[in-house]
Structures are given as C-alpha cells and as structure tokens.
Homo-oligomer: A and B are copies of this chain.
Amino acid sequence: MKPVRIGLLGCGTVGTGVVKLLRGNAAMLERRLGAPIEIAAVADLILKPNPSLGLTAKLITKDGAAVVERPDIDIIVELFGGHEPARTFILKALASGKDVVTANKAMLAVHCEEIFRAAEKAGRTVGFEASVGGGIPIIRTLREALAGDRQRAVYGIVNGTCNYILTRMSEQGQEFAEVLAEAQRSGLAEANPALDIDGHDAAHKLCLLVALAFGVTIKPAQVHTEGISAITQHDIAYARELGFTIKLLAIAKEENGVIEARVHPTMIPRNHLLAGVGDAFNAIYIQGEALGSTMYYGKGAGQMPTATAVVADILDIARHRIAAGGGARSYPLGFPMAQIKRARVKPMDDVVCEYYLRFMAPDKPGVLGAIASVLGRNRISIASVIQQERNAEVTVPVVMRTHEARERDLKRALAQIRRFRIMKQSPVFIRIEERL
C-alpha cells in the first residue's frame, strides 16, 4: 500500500527520537497500519545527515515553508517549539490538506482555538498528545475515554524539572538553589530554568487540560501561577510533620460553569498516590462525577517517551488517511469547536483553600496572640499550631495550619501581619489540598 509520508519540522532531541522509533519499529507499525510510514522531509537549521538513522542529505532542508507546501506530504510533525514560525506553518499545513502532530504546548496554550478551528475548517486534525505529560496518554484519555463523564477536578504533576527538584529537596535535605544547580549540570533543568521553575510550563499544560476536561478555553494569563523557588527546607520539614508532601500542582476545578485554574506549590497528604510520584515523573489525577478518581503516571519528558506520544498520534492520523472516505477524525478537544466556549474563570481572590502558614518571629509572649487575632479578624480560623523551639533571643518559626479560608482574606491578613515590627521576614504560605 502507498506509504504515509511525514514532514518533520525540527529534528532536535524529540525529533531524533521520532525518527528512531519510526525506523526501529517500522515493521510493527506497518503490521498495525497496513502501509509503511515514510519520512519525506526534515526541516532543521543545524541537522547534519545521519545515514544510520536514514537521515540522508537529500531529506534535510533548512526551508520549513517548502516542506509545509509539498503536495506529497500527508502529515506535518511540528517540533520547532515556540510561537513562530510554528503557528504559521501549522496553519499552512492544515490549509493545504495535511494533518498535523505537535508537541508545542506553549504555542497551543495561546493559539489552540485558532489552530483547532482551522483544522476543522480544513477537515483535518491536530494530534497533540506529546504536549502534556510526555508519553502519558492524557490527551486522548480526556478526549475519548472520559468523554461520557463530567470531570470535576484535575490535579497534575506536569513539570518534571520541578518534581525532580522538590523530590531531591524532600529526600536529601538540600536547598532549592543547590538542587537546581545540580539539575542544570545533569541536563534535567535548562540553563534558563524560568519557564519550568516559575510554573509557566505547567500553566501552559493546564490550559490544554482545562479545554479537554471541561470543554472551555482559558489563556495562560488567566491561570494563577507560582513557582517553586521560594520553597525552603523549613517548609519541607513542617510539611512532613503535618503529614504532607509539597508538590508543584496544576489544579483545575469546575463548579457551576466557573473554572478555577492555578499552578502553585501544594501540600498534599503524604500517603496520597500523587505524593508517591517522584523524581522527574509526571502524573495527572482526575476526579470524574461517575468514574471517581483515576490517575495516569509516567515519564513527562525525555527523547523516547515524548517520541512515543508523537508516533501514536502519527499512527492514529495515518489510519484515518488510509481509510476509505477518510472517516471520523477526533475533534482535537473532543467537541466541535463551535461547542467550545471561553471559560468563566474564578478570580484567585475567590478561591477557597486550607493554608499552611509560617511566620518568623522572636519567641516572645504575645506574638502568637497578635498573629491569631489578625487572622481571626479576617475570618481565618486556625486548625493547628506548631511552635517547637523556645528561645526568646532568636527568631523561630511559628507554623499554623488554617481551616478553609478565602484567598482574599488570607492575603489581607498576611499584609497586616507583615507590618508587625517584630516580623523578621515576610510570612510564608502554602496552599493545602487534603481531600483530593
């Protein structure tokens, strides 16, 4: 049977993984599909020919625009990353009758409506399994397997760098800067790690998860986003004492048509399955109305795990291209785009959480009382207090756990407490999710 022909835009780490997988598993893929998958062109500015992978000089070009226009190509696999030219090339590919596979969460988080509408108009589809959770099949799970149910909440460990750093900090007692430097040396963190450690990468992924889980779109700017750089050994130790583990979670909930979406360090019960997700692994924990809780766990990044997601999308699309009539492609978000609305997003100030609070103050009589009364005046009630060390000479941590409180009230209370002359540093707060 006529081969299905792929145009690859970008052949770095993941692209090379895709080439390896298509080549190494060619016979099995052809058994599944009934036709071979062939790489027709690779657009990359710096790639050198690599005959052992079948990447001959003839296949390689610097001209991505030309690859996108080629009539002999069926599927464009976009692995450039970044907004442009990725977005333009994808739109052109769709307009010229190609299907698209991409791992580009940063671009999709902002432009997915435009791109998925263009796909629908062209009668094509966009596979983006690799964009969230690497090799974990969370996109098709939300789009298809959970499509008969209503989702209530999504909790994701979706940034491997942050999870690796927090796992090391928790297991080996090192401080953030130290572990980050180590992760950078070993290649687990980027030279410029801001996108990961500030939570933006997780926020991009959360936008896609929200669209799939709830059928509404939000923009990254609508996701309240905090990173992990302020987490200290103090907080990790107190978390443990309170029975919690600290994870960077991407959280989305839906209630009465309003979406809550936030990314921040979160204390979760130490015996929860998500707390056992260590190192650079990812996991997405979903609560559905009928299904209850499910969890999906695996490698969220890396050459070969991400490549398996890209190849699964290629296979899926190839199957439809081969079929008589082309058949029923999946809608990228599981709904026709006409059914997808902009989300109504709950302002962060209205979010209700339990909180862990840490105040650094001299251990003098009255300090605890002063803090407690400001909290009380702001309708925040204290569930428990830890104040172990007794030494009036030095600054000691006063640690509290609150009952559920509104973010607006907490912020106001902390602003008032921060003004106490006795406070040696800004109060620290970490949100708790206990009933997930």
Contacts and interface: CB of A to CB of B under 8 A. Distances in A.
Interface stretch (A51-59, A158-166, A303-311): A303-311
B328 A150 contact: no
Contacts of A307: 148, 290
A373 interface: no
Interface in A315-367: 315-316, 319-320, 322-331, 334-336, 339
A141 B147 contact: no
A290 B273 contact: no
A302 B227 CA distance: 39
A129 B149 contact: no
A291 B327 contact: no
Interface in A64-114: none
- Residue among A136, A294, A324 with most chain B CB within 10 A: A294
Given A290-B21, A293-B298, A294-B296, A308 B146 contact: yes
A214 B105 CA distance: 31
A211 to B, nearest CB: 14
Given A135-B294, A273-B297, A288 B308 contact: yes
Contacts of A334: 32
A308 B149 contact: yes
Q: Is the interface of A mostly helix, strand, loop or mixed?
A: mixed
A281 B304 CA distance: 30
A17 B149 CA distance: 12
Interface stretch (A23-31, A244-252, A378-386): A23-31
B309 A145 contact: yes
Q: Number of copies of this chain in the oligomer?
A: 2
A178 interface: no
26 contacts: A21-B148, A25-B148, A137-B141, A140-B140, A140-B144, A141-B145, A144-B315, A145-B309, A147-B315, A148-B308, A148-B311, A148-B312, A148-B314, A149-B308, A273-B273, A276-B276, A291-B304, A291-B305, A292-B304, A294-B298, A296-B297, A319-B328, A323-B325, A325-B326, A325-B327, A328-B328
Interface of A: 17, 21, 25, 28-29, 31-32, 34, 129, 135-137, 140-141, 144-150, 215, 271, 273, 276-277, 288, 290-299, 304-305, 307-312, 314-316, 319-320, 322-331, 334-336, 339
Given A32-B339, A135-B292, 19 more contacts: A17-B290, A31-B215, A31-B335, A137-B144, A140-B140, A141-B141, A141-B145, A148-B315, A271-B276, A273-B277, A290-B304, A290-B308, A291-B304, A294-B297, A294-B299, A295-B295, A295-B296, A296-B296, A297-B297
